[in-house]
Amino acid sequence: MFKMSNNSKRIVDYLHEEKPDMVEFLRRLVVIESPSLEPTAQKQVFSLIADKLSNLGYEARLLSGERSGGHLYVRPRQRVRGKAAQLLLGHCDTVWPLGTLTKMPLEITNGVMKGPGVYDMKAGLAQIVFALQALNDLQLQPTVTPLVLITSDEEVGSFESRRHIERIARNVNRALVLEPSLGLSGKLKTARKGVGRFEILVNGKPAHAGLEPEEGASAILELSHVIQKLFALNNPERGITVIVGTINGGLRSNVIAPESRASVDVRVLTTEDGKWIEEIIRDLKPSTPGVTLEIAGAINRYPMERTARNQALWNVARKLGSQIGLELEQGTSGGASDGNFTSHFTATLDGLGAVGNGAHAYHEFVDVEKTLERCALLALLMLEPPV
């Protein structure tokens, strides 16, 4: 039987009272469709969050983007210079195109909310807002200043937001990432695989397939050799996957193929393996006489590993969870997030967001009550002294 501390009880009771407002706020976030590839679509999400937090004593600034919808950076209006800070990190972009609501409508039944982006990760954004609101209204002052960054390009690689994320991460005591938890059991993500993308172009030499095939050099034949070399790099025991996702090439069936290409997805559990496999792929040599290889790409998100500081933060969360009746577990995600970036600079805990399932799937949903509990956990984490 767990026994709540005074602050734990106050926060949990407060959030249960605010549950209807939190559900309504999340509903409003979900019905604002905000796909990554529609830069203007995120403005309403940013506005909704900025308005809410401005009433809590925070100032919001839009960090403009060139190809993205920009990023929302929020900090207290009154901040003690030199005081330790913590980053609450999330993204408002989704994988769902405009118009998805017509075939995947928002539904709230029996404590479950369904809708595009509700799990990944607009519920996490609602948690940020209501955790900060709880601390404000209960007059609980964190010893570590909360900073909030909400990006709009995470689902497409964080190509513009990465520099902002890393700049802030270098200067904070910890990063709390509101990506959804792992699986229906709601595991926190204490490790994430690193991800790489590579494009391989094979340049061959065309020739007539019937008259003088010996004069040609088949780019398709060479690509088949390359694919076998890449497949041989898979190592399930080390958590290494190398997947050739797409291939194309050739002109016609009666022409020796002058060109072919492949796109490759790489996942690794350790930074060491990431550097090793990147070097191998970049150093691939052709086996077919007369062809050349052009290889582009890199490991663009190195792994979030179970470092000592990350595990120390996890242990704090587990202790706090037990105070409110949560038996938390940790897990490893095969996907990457912006937590992969922050982990290289500061203590990072990911998967603090919604409990549910169906990321990037038509059945996407969150368990409202369990997500409310995670909101309480976030508030308690923000009150913790520096780790």
DSSP character string of 330-348: EEEESS--THHHHTTTSEE
Question: Other CB atoms closer than 10 Å to residue 228's CB: what's the count?
Answer: 10
Question: Other CB atoms closer than 10 Å to residue 153's CB: what's the count?
Answer: 25
Distance CA 320, CA 316 (A): 6
The domain segmentation of the chain, as residue ranges, is 6-192+303-383, 194-301
Q: At residue 308, what is the residue type?
A: A
Q: At residue 50, what is the residue type?
A: A
Distance CA 360, CA 113 (A): 15
Question: Other CB atoms closer than 10 Å to residue 102's CB: what's the count?
Answer: 7
Domain 194-301 in the same topology as domain 6-192+303-383: no
- Full DSSP string of 62-114: EE--SSS--EEEEEESS--TT--EEEEEEE--BSPPTTGGGTS--EEETTEEE
What is the β-pairing status of strands 188-192 and 330-333? Answer: parallel
Instruction: Say how many Å lie between the first and final Cα of the chain, rounded.
Output: 27
Q: Is the peptide bond before 121 cis (omega within 30 degrees of 0)?
A: yes
The reported pLDDT for the residue numbered 2 is: 63
> Which residues, including other chains, have CB under 8 Å from residue 304's CB and lie 6 or more apart?
189, 190, 191, 192, 194, 310, 336, 337, 339, 340, 343, 348, 350
pTM of this structure: 0.93
Question: Tokens 């912006």 identify what position?
Answer: 338
Question: Tokens 């100032």 identify what position?
Answer: 59
Write phi, then psi, for 164 (nearest 5 degrees): -70, -45
Q: pLDDT tens for the chain, 387 residues: list them.
A: 567 788 999 999 999 999 999 999 999 999 999 999 999 999 999 999 999 999 999 999 999 999 999 999 999 998 877 889 999 999 999 999 999 999 999 999 999 999 999 999 999 999 999 999 999 999 999 999 999 999 999 999 999 999 999 999 999 999 999 999 999 999 999 999 999 999 999 999 999 999 999 999 999 999 999 999 999 999 999 999 999 999 999 999 999 999 999 999 999 999 999 999 999 999 999 999 999 999 999 999 999 999 999 999 999 999 999 999 999 999 999 999 999 999 999 999 999 999 999 999 999 999 999 999 999 999 999 999 998
Q: Which CATH number fits domain 194-301: 3.30.70.360, 3.40.50.11060, 3.40.50.2300, 3.40.50.970?
A: 3.30.70.360
What kind of fold does domain 6-192+303-383 have according to CATH? Answer: Aminopeptidase (3.40.630)
CB 336 within 8 A of CB 344: no
